[in-house]
Amino acid sequence: MPIKWILHWQPNAGTTVNTQILSEVSQCAESINGVKEGRWKTILSFYRAMVREQGSANEFPRDFVGISLAEQPSKYFLVIRGQRVVVEAESNIQMIMEKLQSYKTRFVLTFEGNQYQLGDFQLRVGKVVPTHSESLRGIVMEMEYQPISSCEKSHQIMGEFFDLWQEALSKRSLQGHFVHLEPNFTEYGLPDQYTLQHTAVQYASITAQMISTAQTVQPNRN
Amino acid sequence: MECVVQGIIETKHVEALEILLQGLCGVHRDSLRIHELCLKSVPNLGLVSSEVRLLCDLEQPEPTWTVRHIGGAMRGAGAEQISVLVRTMAESKVSQNALRLFYALGYKLDHELLRVGFAFHFNSGAPITVTVSSVNKMLKLHATDEAVPVTPGIQLVEVTAPASSENYTEVAKSMSSFCEYLAPLLHLSKPGVSTGVVPTAAAAAASLMSDGGGTTL
């Protein structure tokens, strides 16, 4: 499966993400001759442990997420980032988790937007919103290079394309930039050949990054 | 949801049972070697305790994993009138890290078993699966190569069929009809209702072995 980088928008210090930035990013993709192909959607759910003793939820993972990816709605991915665990399952694992009643989904984020084809690259630009809300929490981009599946072999060409993209975007003088922080896939037991599990791990990782950024900007929010 | 009945048979009669099943089902048997890990939630996790099973199919070239949750059985007057157990059951194929995931989530290994035998998958009014297996325990943690039978000389026979709330009575009937053909060799009943071995088993087995299943039982 083709290599993919997933990037998230890092607002400049003192600023927040907004729909104007999202619009500019989409226009930028079109301005470099990206051909709009359709829509995409990925959903990430935060699971929280149900406990009998009040206040003891911290005994259990707080970074346990479930992810439904646009490419393969029949699958579901479970990630515990702190333990570097990723599991690929069928989508009915969600029903099994519900029946167990040990963990419940507390908060759900939707990543959705348009998809563009640029030669051998496929770009996806998306907003990040809580499900059933329009409150923009972030902006993500997926950058896929179709001819190569190896993480290592694709590094150079992906880096070059990323630099081109950043340069095109910089002309719009936006208050922020895209960041690519690749998780250590080896720590998750993942091979060099790219898979949907790599994508799931990236989504868990950028979500954590976005939450961390939001908490830095507004530390008293909770 | 699934319909289930179980029974036991002496190991010496398993070959005869296989001949009978081969004749009834019209399909080839599949070998079975399943490592079953039963996990239970730690005391503080969940408002009620929960159990989940991980099944590792060791018969495949690469071990494949399934998560299975078995829920409560149907109860009430309607359930008592049905000769099979109807219970909720959900399963999902998973990648190999599932055990690590459940340990990280707060599940502990309660017990593990190795089931070795064979299965027939066929259609008889409903998609039915018959598994015949010895149930083995491991003397050391996860040591599937060093498993010993829990009940030497006795094997477990399980007949299952997927069902829904709309069709479980029809599925139960199909299963019951099929199970009648096995009556000379073993008695099948709801799990938890033990009936022991069948007195006609030896004679029925001898008959099957002598002419390869041509005799009408």
pLDDT at A216 over 80: no
Distances from the Cα of A58 to the Cαs of A24, A55, A111, A214, in angstroms? 41, 7, 28, 22
Q: Which of A2-6, A90-94, B167-171 has the lowest mean pLDDT?
A: B167-171
Q: Which two tokens stand for residue B210?
A: 């002598």
Nearest to B90 by CA among B70, B75, B105, B72: B70
Q: For residue A177, report the phi and psi dihedrals to the nearest 5 degrees.
A: -160, 165
Distance separating the N- and C-terminal Cα atoms of chain B: 32
On whether any CB of chain B is under 8 Å from the CB of A57, the answer is no
**Could you tell me where the DSSP H helices lie in chain B?**
14-25, 77-81, 98-105, 168-182, 201-211
Exposure string for B152-185, b = 16+ CB within 10 A, e = fewer: eeebbbbbbbebeeeebeebbbbbbebbeebebb
pLDDT at A222: 42
Candidate from B45, B46, B90 with C-beta closest to A96: B90
Q: What are A208's strand-pairing partners?
A: none
Q: Does B162 touch chain A (CB under 8 A)?
A: no
Instruction: Answer whether B45 touches A (CB < 8 Å).
Output: yes
Q: H or E element: which one contains A210?
A: helix A196-217
pLDDT, average across residues B8-18: 92
At residue B98, the pLDDT reads: 96
Q: Which of residues 63-92 of A touch B (CB under 8 A)?
A: 64, 78, 80, 83, 85-90, 92
- Residue A149, C-beta contacts closer than 8 angstroms, at least 6 positions apart: A1, A2, A3, A193, A194
pLDDT at A4 over 50: yes
Contacts for A125 with CB less than 8 Å, ≥ 6 apart: A22, A25, A26, A29, A113, A114, A116, A139, A140, A141
pLDDT tens readout for residues A54-97: 878 888 999 999 999 998 999 999 999 999 999 999 999 999 99
- Please count the CA atoms within 13 angstroms of the CA of B128 that sit on its side-chain side: 27
Residue A221 has pLDDT above 70, yes or no: no
* pLDDT band, residue A147 (cuts 50/70/90): very high
Phi, psi of B22 (to 5 degrees): -60, -45
Distance CA A137, CA A127 (A): 8
- For residue A88, give the nearest of B44, B50, B95 by CB distance: B95
Q: Could A102 and B90 be called an inter-chain contact, meaning their C-beta atoms sit closer than 8 Å?
A: no
Residue A101 Cα, gap to closest chain B Cα (Å):
6
Question: Structure tokens of B200?
Answer: 């006609």
Higher pLDDT, B31 or B26: B31
Predicted confidence at residue A77, as pLDDT, reads 98
Buried b (16+ CB within 10 A) or exposed e, B58-88: beeeeeebbbbbbeeebeeeeeeebebbbbb
In the predicted structure, residue B211 carries a pLDDT above the cut 80: no
Residue B77 at interface with chain A, using a CB cutoff of 8 Å: no
DSSP bridge partners of A90: A75
* Least confident range of A142-146, B38-42, B125-129, B157-161: B125-129
CA distances from A138 to A69, A71, A135, B62, B152 (A): 18, 21, 9, 41, 62
Report the C-alpha gap between A147 and A150 in whole angstroms.
10
Mean pLDDT within A114-125? 95
Model pLDDT for residues B200-209, shown as the tens digit of each residue? 888 888 888 8
pLDDT at A125: 96
> Looking at beta carbons, which residues of chain A come within 8 Å of B104?
61, 80, 83, 85
Residues in chain A: 222
The arithmetic mean of pLDDT across residues A19-29, rounded, is 93
DSSP string, A144-207: EETT--BHHHHHHHHHHHHHHHHHHHHTT--SEEEE-----GGGGT--SB--HHHHHHHHHHHH
For residue B213, the tally of other CB atoms under 10 A from its CB is 18
Residue (of B69, B123, B130, B67) closest to B93 by Cα position: B67
**pTM, two decimal places:** 0.91
Q: Which range has the worst mean pLDDT, A167-181, A195-209, B12-26, B198-212?
A: B198-212
Q: Suggest the residue from A76, A77, A102, A103 to mutate for an interface test with chain B (most B CBs closer than 10 A).
A: A102
Q: Give the model's pLDDT for residue B215.
A: 47
Query: Minimal CA–CA distance to B89: which of B159, B160, B32?
Result: B160
Residues of A in contact with B90 (CB under 8 A): 92, 95-96, 99
Secondary structure of A81-99 in HEC code, one letter for each residue:
HHHCEEEEEECCHHHHHHH
Whether A186 has its CB under 8 Å from any CB of chain B: the answer is: no
The percentage of chain A sitting over the pLDDT mark of 90, rounded to a whole number, equals: 82
Q: Enumerate helices (H) and strands (E) in chain A, giving the number of each.
A: 4, 9
Rounded to whole angstroms, the Cα distance separating A34 from A116 reads: 5
pLDDT at B216 over 60: no
Tell me the sheet residues that pair with B120. Answer: B130
A141 pLDDT band, cuts 50/70/90, is very high
pLDDT tens for B46-102 read: 989 999 999 999 998 999 999 999 998 888 877 888 889 999 999 999 999 999 999
Res B198: pLDDT: 79
Q: Does A103 touch chain B (CB under 8 A)?
A: yes
Report the pLDDT value the prediction gives residue B193, as an integer from 0 to 100.
76
